[in-house]
């Protein structure tokens, strides 16, 4: 290979290995695509948490100097997208706990807790005097759960010259969250968050 070809090859390799990274505002509005993104997560978590914490069921409990115990279930993802609904729950439960108005139960870690208690109470390496006895976990009074659904519509490729070369995609998301009284089975609180996003792309991907 000639010297100038080697220089060009080295330059291409060097340029391909270069990257530019910068920090952005994590709370800035995300408009990269019409799919579910960070702005939707933050907006939903904020609105729904505020709605729950200001609801009559929480207000009445707090008025009696009580913080209701809530069992957090998962949010079922009924969309065609891979959406991390656990991350939405994490944002909501963080805000709920920081409010000081409720207490939360995480049943997803029960088996881990059970293993630890078994170790404390039965393993010869553990000090039995400091072991936590079984049967002391506080029972939840309410269950928090919900689902996320979506409707997708697309149009384009026909009509005017402009529409022939563009595609419009409309996405409608709906969150529905509920709080059930585990003693009575009554739904004490329910709210919805609706999000509609529209994106346009060229039929050639531009």
Q: What is the pLDDT of residues 179-200, one digit of tens each?
A: 999 999 999 999 999 988 887 7
Specify if 76 maps to a domain: yes
Number of domains in the chain: 1
* Lowest-pLDDT choice from 2-11, 71-80, 87-96, 113-122: 2-11
* Lowest-pLDDT choice from 33-47, 80-94, 115-129, 133-147: 33-47
Q: What is the pLDDT of residues 137-181, one digit of tens each?
A: 888 999 999 999 988 887 765 555 555 567 788 889 899 999 999
How many other β-carbons are positioned within 10 Å of the β-carbon of residue 188?
18
Residue 205 has pLDDT above 80, yes or no: no
Tokens of 20: 């530019």
Residue 204 has pLDDT above 80, yes or no: no
Indicate the average pLDDT of the chain.
Answer: 82
What is the C-alpha end-to-end distance of the chain, expressed in Å? 38
Residue 50 has pLDDT above 90, yes or no: yes
**Residue 184 belongs to domain spanning:** 33-145+175-191
Q: What is the pLDDT of residues 114-125, one digit of tens each?
A: 888 888 888 888
Specify if 186 maps to a domain: yes
Q: Which of 154, 176, 153, 171 is nearest to 163 (CA)?
A: 154
Specify if 39 maps to a domain: yes
Residue 33 has pLDDT above 70, yes or no: no
Specify if 21 maps to a domain: no
Specify if 139 maps to a domain: yes
**Cβ-contact 119, 128 below 8 angstroms:** no
Q: Can you give the pLDDT at residue 26?
A: 59
Specify if 114 maps to a domain: yes
| pTM attached to this predicted model | 0.73
Calpha distance 40→12 (Å, rounded): 39
CATH number at residue 38: 3.40.50
Listed in sequence order, the DSSP H helices in the chain are 3-16, 38-53, 56-63, 85-99, 110-122, 161-164
Calpha distance 165→80 (Å, rounded): 26
Give the DSSP H/E element, type plus range, for residue 151: strand 142-156
Task: With H, G, I as helix, E, B as strand and everything else as coil, classify residue 53.
Answer: helix
Q: What is the mean pLDDT of residues 89-97?
A: 94
Specify if 104 maps to a domain: yes
Q: Can you give the pLDDT at residue 178?
A: 97
* Lowest-pLDDT choice from 1-10, 17-26, 179-188: 1-10
Specify if 170 maps to a domain: no
């Amino acid at each position: 290979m000639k010297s100038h070809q080697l220089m060009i090859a080295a330059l291409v390799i060097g340029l391909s290995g270069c990257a530019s990274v910068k920090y952005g505002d994590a709370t800035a509005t995300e408009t990269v695509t019409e799919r579910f993104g960070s702005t939707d997560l933050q907006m939903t978590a904020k609105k729904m948490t505020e709605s729950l914490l200001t609801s009559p069921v929480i207000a009445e409990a707090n008025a009696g100097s009580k913080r209701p115990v809530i069992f957090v279930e998962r949010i079922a993802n009924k969309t065609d997208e891979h959406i991390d609904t656990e991350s939405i729950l994490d944002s909501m439960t963080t805000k709920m706990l920081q409010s000081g108005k409720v207490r939360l139960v995480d049943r997803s870690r029960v088996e881990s807790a059970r293993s630890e208690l078994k170790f404390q109470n039965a393993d010869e390496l553990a000090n039995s005097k400091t072991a936590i006895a079984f049967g002391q976990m506080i029972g939840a009074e309410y269950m928090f759960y919900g689902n996320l659904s979506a409707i997708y519509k697309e149009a384009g490729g026909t009509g005017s010259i402009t529409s022939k070369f563009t595609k419009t995609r409309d996405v409608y998301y709906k969150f529905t969250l509920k709080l059930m009284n585990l003693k009575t089975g009554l739904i004490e609180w329910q709210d919805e968050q609706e999000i509609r996003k529209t994106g346009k792309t060229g039929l050639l991907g531009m």
